[in-house]
Amino acid sequence: MIRFYGFILTLFCSLSAYGQGLPGYIITMQGDTIRGDVAEKSGQRLYLYTSSENQPKILEADQVLGYGLEGNVPIFSRRVRMGSGSIVSCFVLPQQIGPASLYSFANDFGMLLLPAATDTLYELTATNWHVVLNKYLRACPTLQHTSSEILALSFSEANMQKVLTQYNQCIEPDWKPQYQSNKSAWKQAIGVSTNALRVPLGEEGFYGQKPSGWGGQFGVEWLAFRASGLQTIVKLDYSALFESTPPYQVISNGGTSIDIEERLRARLQFLSATLLIGKQIWPARRPNLIVGGGTGIDLISLGEVETEQRALGSTASFKVVSTSNNPGELRFHLDAYAGVSIPLSPRREVRLNAVYRHYIPDFGLPGIQLAYYWTLQ
């Protein structure tokens, strides 16, 4: 199991630099729109895949006015004075709009300040943010940037929002916070999935025996994905497992065999919630490799184990001699998957995945998953 997760992690990391993308567009410096598959890259770059070219066109933020995903508003390029002092063009997203506004990078981490009456954003860092705010947010006489209260604030988005709210309401008393983060960097989908699971031989189970069996799973999913290929899935599912051990001869308390053979049969039902992080490897609008993994929590709604016995060597049916049931137990699991997504239309796709779920600490289940997704507008 550890080797399997190691393989998925290695594959996820090693392929993350390759071209991905989602149907979208760029806006040229002349204001024209060019459509294709848009892939975000770190360092404020874009890859544009078009049907007329075999290789992607690599574009820096200062070469276009903006970009977006199909059906969504664009993300614009703005001039940013970095913490190092250099001025560069970056793709940015608004987080709070007002007399002074807060932005973030579109495809990198970071916070940016847009002071009033300027078109240049300023990168805020843990070492410079007090200095930048004191320099550009001085129009409010009641906001003292050198006060112990302000200086004691840690560098975080929440504290930045707090200071900007105080400043903006001082400048414009009727102003109210407007958290206008541009979500067009993400697209969303809903889906349904069904899994066929195998309880493998060789894993020690109930009472030291080695059960085998099959299971099924049905889930509903919410999926968010970026043009970088990054995907986040929140999944709710129901699983039913059926297991049994081969017959074995009963041993008495004295350590001697008796003329009875026994087997254990189990029915398990789980309600689970899972958070998954995945990666799409190739450009969109073609069959695509996807890999990922995650973790979740389970509630056992049924945990029934039956002990059945019959005379040794008999051909009669086994008879139930005892039953135990332990519903309501909570446990955790790890998931990994790798497979292929096949687009059916611009808004629909199916996925076929090899999946592995490990219920901690007991056992792991390999399986095959079929999923169907509808992309939301």
The pLDDT assigned to 132 comes to 92
pLDDT at 343: 87
The pLDDT, as a whole number, for residue 20 is 56
- The mean pLDDT of 268-296, rounded to a whole number, is 86
CA 242 to chain centre: 30
Q: What angle do CA 18, 23, 25 make, to 5 degrees?
A: 100
Q: Which burial class, exposed, middle or buried, applies to 32 when counting CB atoms under 10 A from its CB (0-12, 13-18, 19+)?
A: exposed
Q: How far apart are CA 207 and CA 311, in angstroms?
A: 20
277 Cβ partners below 8 Å, 6+ apart?
230, 231, 232, 233, 292, 293, 294
C-alpha of 60 from chain center: 27
Average pLDDT for the chain: 84
Residue 376 contacts residue 188 (beta carbons within 8 Å)? yes
Element holding 148 (H helix, E strand): helix 148-151
Name the DSSP class of 15: H
Instruction: Give me the numbers of helices (H) and strands (E) for the chain, helices first please.
Output: 4, 20
Enclosing H/E stretch for 7: helix 2-15
pLDDT of 228 reads: 75
Compute the distance between CA of residue 185 and CA of residue 107 in angstroms, rounded to an integer: 8
Name the pLDDT band for 17 (thresholds 50, 70, 90): very low
Q: Is 179 exposed, middle or buried (0-12, 13-18, 19+ CB in 10 A)?
A: exposed
Separation between Cα atoms, residue 161 and residue 39, nearest integer Å: 30
Confidence of residue 265 (pLDDT cuts 50, 70, 90): confident
Q: How far apart are the first and last CA of the chain?
A: 39
Contacts of 17 (CB under 8 A, 6+ apart): none
What pLDDT, in 10s, does the model give residues 141-185? Answer: 888 888 888 888 888 888 898 899 999 999 999 888 876 655 566
105: closest CA among 135, 80, 73, 84? Answer: 80
206-220, 304-318, 330-344: least confident range: 206-220
From CA 147, how far away is CA 140, in angstroms rounded? 14
Burial of 163 (0-12, 13-18, 19+ CB in 10 A): buried
Kindly list the distances between the CA atom of residue 286 and the CA atoms of 22, 349, 350, in Å, as whole numbers in the listed order: 11, 10, 12
Query: How much is the pLDDT for 255?
Result: 64
**Cα 362 from chain centroid (whole Å):** 25
